[in-house]
């Protein structure tokens, strides 16, 4: 899967702000960037003694579906709906069992078992499950604003971090190799200092691993209402295409675009997929997070992508879905007399059209 990452290095921590503004938000003051000139701390941990297998640089870059396969998927999506409960508008209670009554819902739930942990003071970086596509980080002992940097090669992803000492999940979506995680504390204004950092090897169990589990941007649990709804929608689905069609159909007919929220949201906003599902409306970031959560809960690899699209002429958020035997399908939209073709659910619900999508960040 080609990420088109060249512009990403320039976007840094301002990308989310632009994303929110492109959805109709009033411009907010630029958030602080952890990519400041703070020098690496002497507290940086050494790498573990074990070494990772040789990295495969093409692992995540050679799986795009060819145009003819995308066309076949679109034709199936345009066909009459599968016989599922899409569009019912009901959400099952978050009871821990699926809506079809078949037992417990099983997701790829993140965990911090403490097998490989880098610590110093209130800082903890749990790298026990890097093969599953994520690292878990927490910080306690400070009330100041915190940031996390996840770095590999020339790529850097910047995130906010709570200061309550609770673990948060960050994806390792840049393929195999050596990653560095940095915990940064605000000094003043946009200046940050490093509290702690650690480098660790990553050998993913699969190139899909980061896109099959929750993370800070696509946040859900087995008891989430979004997961229950996904189970209900896909109860009769026999293929991943049918799952995709069921979720997408539900999204465009039941989740509307929230223009008021778009005008008021500020930098640092993170989607709450259950709140979006309950309100039945959201901004582009919400749409993409909810769709990713519902499909990942069905074991369908799904990316939340941030980049640019010609229909909005600004930064936007959408999804990419991996279908077995086909490849990654970019979720865009084209409105025709026969209905929606590709599936950027934001454009599907608002009646817009988008054709040219360029990815900058993937979560």
Pick the CATH number of 110-205 from 1.20.1250.20, 3.40.50.970, 1.10.1370.30, 2.60.40.10: 2.60.40.10
> What is the rounded (10 degree) CA torsion for 155, 156, 157, 158?
-160
**What was the pLDDT predicted at 334?**
37
Give the predicted TM-score (pTM) of the model: 0.74
Arch. (CATH architecture) of 67-107+214-362: Roll (3.10)
At 36 the pLDDT is: 36
pLDDT of residue 164: 93
- Sign of the alpha-carbon torsion through 339, 342, 348, 351: negative
Distance CA 317, CA 284 (A): 6
Tell whether the torsion through CA atoms of 218, 220, 226 and 231 is positive or negative.
positive
**Residue 71: left (phi > 0), alpha (psi -120 to 50), or beta?**
alpha
**Residue burial 306-335, b: 16+ Cβ < 10 Å; e: rest:** bbbbebbeebbbbbbbbbeebbbbbbbbee
Domain ranges of the chain: 67-107+214-362, 110-205
**Confidence (pLDDT) at 106:** 84
> Tens of pLDDT along the chain (363 residues)?
433 433 333 333 434 444 444 454 333 333 333 333 333 333 343 333 333 334 333 333 346 666 666 566 656 655 554 333 333 333 333 333 443 344 457 899 999 999 999 999 999 999 999 999 999 999 999 999 999 999 999 999 999 999 999 999 999 999 999 999 999 999 999 899 999 999 999 999 999 999 999 999 999 999 999 999 999 999 999 899 899 989 988 987 888 888 898 888 888 889 999 999 999 998 888 989 999 999 999 999 999 988 776 655 556 788 889 988 788 887 664 333 333 334 444 555 555 545 566 777 899
C-alpha of 267 from chain center: 17
Helix (H, G, I), strand (E, B) or coil at 327: strand
């Amino acid at each position: 899967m080609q990420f088109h990452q060249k512009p990403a290095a320039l976007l840094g921590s301002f990308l989310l702000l632009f994303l929110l503004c492109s959805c109709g938000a009033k411009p907010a003051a630029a958030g602080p960037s952890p990519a400041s000139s703070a020098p690496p701390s002497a507290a940086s941990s050494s790498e573990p003694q074990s070494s990772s297998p040789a990295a495969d640089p093409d692992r995540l870059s050679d799986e795009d579906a060819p145009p003819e396969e995308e066309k076949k998927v679109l034709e199936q999506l345009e066909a009459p709906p599968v016989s599922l409960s899409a569009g019912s508008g009901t959400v099952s209670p978050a009871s821990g069992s699926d809506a079809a009554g078949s037992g417990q819902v099983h997701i790829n739930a993140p965990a911090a078992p403490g097998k490989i942990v880098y610590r110093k003071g209130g800082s903890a970086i749990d790298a026990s499950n890097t093969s599953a596509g994520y690292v878990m980080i927490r910080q306690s002992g400070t009330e100041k604003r915190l940031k996390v940097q996840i770095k590999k090669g020339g790529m850097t992803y910047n995130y906010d971090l709570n200061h309550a000492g609770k673990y948060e999940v960050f994806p390792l979506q840049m393929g195999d190799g050596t990653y560095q995680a940095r915990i940064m504390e605000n000094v003043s204004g946009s200046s940050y200092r490093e509290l702690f950092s650690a480098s660790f090897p990553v050998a993913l169990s699969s190139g899909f691993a980061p896109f099959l589990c929750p993370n800070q941007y696509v946040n859900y649990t087995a008891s989430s209402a979004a997961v229950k709804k996904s189970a209900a929608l896909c109860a009769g689905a026999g293929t991943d295409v049918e799952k995709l069609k069921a979720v997408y159909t539900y999204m465009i007919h039941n989740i509307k675009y929230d223009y008021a929220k778009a005008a008021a949201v500020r930098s640092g906003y993170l989607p709450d997929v259950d709140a979006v599902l309950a309100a039945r409306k959201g901004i582009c970031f919400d749409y993409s997070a909810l769709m990713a959560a519902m499909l990942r809960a069905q074991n369908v690899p799904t990316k939340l992508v941030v980049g640019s699209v010609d229909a909005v002429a600004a930064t936007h958020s959408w999804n990419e879905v991996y279908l077995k035997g086909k490849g990654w399908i970019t979720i865009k939209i084209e409105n025709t007399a026969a209905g929606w073709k590709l599936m950027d659910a934001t454009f599907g619900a608002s009646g817009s059209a988008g054709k040219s999508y360029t990815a900058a960040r993937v979560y």
